[in-house]
Structure 1
């Protein structure tokens, strides 16, 4: 049977790859999509999610989430993802209807409808899941498991010096979510930068995506190729060379298959008050806090195997 996943994302180039990956997999059911502001504003994310889900044939509710973090003003990453969120790609306007519920309410309703079955997958800021916990504090026990792309454990940040984007946009929300899910029957799985930055597209992978777009009649093949080319341009301008870190698909594939990385338990918390380190995810490797583990941290990634799996899945599904 297909695994049902609720995907909360700020689409976003690597979010779009992750959504496409799930749509190409027979063992995945996208049960719902929540549009969270982050890479671009929530309204732009929502347009992307409505259009992509329609093009991919994903018949699931797509709900608009909150338009700002819990405490701080919103911030966006158009330099990384483009003004529309998908780089050079231009999406058609969706004709499908949005779900009238809020993103937080969609989390609650789907979890209540499918207790113990639904997997939560957070690929953007945690704002809507934090708001959902205010409505239904039992979410950690209603969900089958939570998987998160976010944070940087003993690794430099990609937003602040020590903070990762998804956490830095709304640290209060991330802190509340990690604290709540520390009591879940299965600890949440955290895919942080030291794992996801091992997934690197080089020119060879871009060429495969462009070749797929050239031969495929599926419109999403061209969208991904144009989006990823912009992603390469950003990484080159940011000093990484002609390459791209592809974060969200690793966490997505691990949530679906349990493969491509191991995990290890670790107490993790979010710094909210540091003048230099606000938004940092701190892992207590030495047990100084005297707390038990709060997450299963992605570890020992097999990047080459995963990149081949990802591209092979996209080629089979879109080709």
Structure 2
């Protein structure tokens, strides 16, 4: 059975690994890609997505999303991902055409065309999905399910002390999305930092990706290797040693396979006004809010098995 996916991402080093993984899966149909500003500005993300989808043979619409969050000015993570979003990688100029629709409109159109079939995968800020909900409030019932990389539940943040990047860039959008999808027939799956940071890869993983790039001659393998090397350099400068946290591919792989992690239901909301905690995702473990669960939270990650699965998929598909 083929899974139809709409991927909304801010590509981004780990986003590039996720897109490549999905393109190489025979059981995945890439129905569309939305470019969201986050790791780098939306126009830079869009160029990355146009190039990667072209090189990977993804024949799906690629739409440019909003260039700023709903409320706050944009912020970027070029120290983490490089000014071009893909570290040391040098990309060719894209030659494929972009889709003329906005990212929000692509969400709406594809969901309406394929009710109950399309799975949404948000690997960046939630801005475009929030804008899409304003156009079509029935999206939570039109989509088959939503999977999200974002948040930090009872875990330190990676942006503010308690906030994770994808949520912190646009907390209002994330809050609107989580609130709307709490009424979906199936709860959204939330892959937060306490799950994704368990995928903490070290030098032998970089060596395998470098070896793949050197032996295959595949341009995507070269992009991934040069991007991942930059990611290692950033994490080393940030005190994590010669290593990297690879967030997005875990959420992508779980969306496709249902493997490599468990889930548990939890009521989660986004803090919008805290002077120290704006953008924090708060999980109500004790039921103090009296609310039903709003997400299925990823937990109990099988990190080693997932990393081997990811590398094996890349090595088989990019040689």
TM-score, normalised to structure 2, is 1.00
Deviations 1:242-291 (A, max 9, x none): 00000000000000010000000000000000000000000000100000
Residue 201 of structure 1, CA deviation: 1.4
Q: Partners in 2 of 1:291 and 1:148 — Cα distance? A: 21
Match of 2:149 in 1: 149
Deviates more, 1:210-219 or 1:184-193: 210-219
Q: Partners in 2 of 1:71 and 1:93 — Cα distance? A: 32
Say whether 1:222 aligns with 2:192.
no
Q: Partners in 2 of 1:23 and 1:69 — Cα distance? A: 28
Match of 1:199 in 2: 199
Q: Partners in 1 of 2:109 and 2:201 — Cα distance? A: 37
Task: Give the 3-state SS of the residue equivalent to 2:298 in structure 1.
Answer: strand
Match of 2:7 in 1: 7
Q: Partners in 1 of 2:28 and 2:245 — Cα distance? A: 24
Match of 1:296 in 2: 296
Deviations 1:19-50 (A, max 9, x none): 00001110011100000000000000000000
Match of 2:179 in 1: 179
Q: Partners in 1 of 2:104 and 2:288 — Cα distance? A: 35
Listed as ranges, the matches of 1:89-128 within 5 Å are 89-128=89-128
Q: Partners in 1 of 2:211 and 2:317 — Cα distance? A: 14
**CA RMSD in angstroms, aligned pairs only:** 0.4
Match of 1:252 in 2: 252
Listed as ranges, the matches of 1:43-122 within 5 Å are 43-122=43-122
Match of 1:240 in 2: 240
Q: Partners in 1 of 2:16 and 2:257 — Cα distance? A: 19
Residue 15 of structure 1, CA deviation: 0.1
Match of 1:133 in 2: 133
Match of 2:284 in 1: 284
Question: How many residue pairs align between the two structures?
Answer: 319
Residue 307 of structure 1, CA deviation: 0.3
Q: Partners in 1 of 2:135 and 2:211 — Cα distance? A: 47
TM-score, normalised to structure 1, is 1.00
Q: Partners in 2 of 1:25 and 1:318 — Cα distance? A: 12
Task: Give the 3-state SS of the residue equivalent to 1:289 in structure 2.
Answer: coil
Residue 102 of structure 1, CA deviation: 0.1
Residue 173 of structure 1, CA deviation: 0.0
Task: Give the 3-state SS of the residue equivalent to 2:239 in structure 1.
Answer: coil
Q: Partners in 2 of 1:93 and 1:57 — Cα distance? A: 15
Structure 1 segments of 4 or more deviating over 3 A? none
Residue 218 of structure 1, CA deviation: 1.4
Q: Partners in 2 of 1:44 and 1:169 — Cα distance? A: 16
Extract unaligned runs of 5+ from structure 1. none
Q: Partners in 2 of 1:280 and 1:168 — Cα distance? A: 7
Residue 217 of structure 1, CA deviation: 2.3
Match of 2:36 in 1: 36
Q: Partners in 2 of 1:273 and 1:169 — Cα distance? A: 14
Task: Give the 3-state SS of the residue equivalent to 1:63 in structure 2.
Answer: strand
Q: Partners in 1 of 2:119 and 2:256 — Cα distance? A: 9
Q: Partners in 1 of 2:96 and 2:293 — Cα distance? A: 42
Task: Give the 3-state SS of the residue equivalent to 1:76 in structure 2.
Answer: coil
Q: Partners in 2 of 1:314 and 1:165 — Cα distance? A: 26
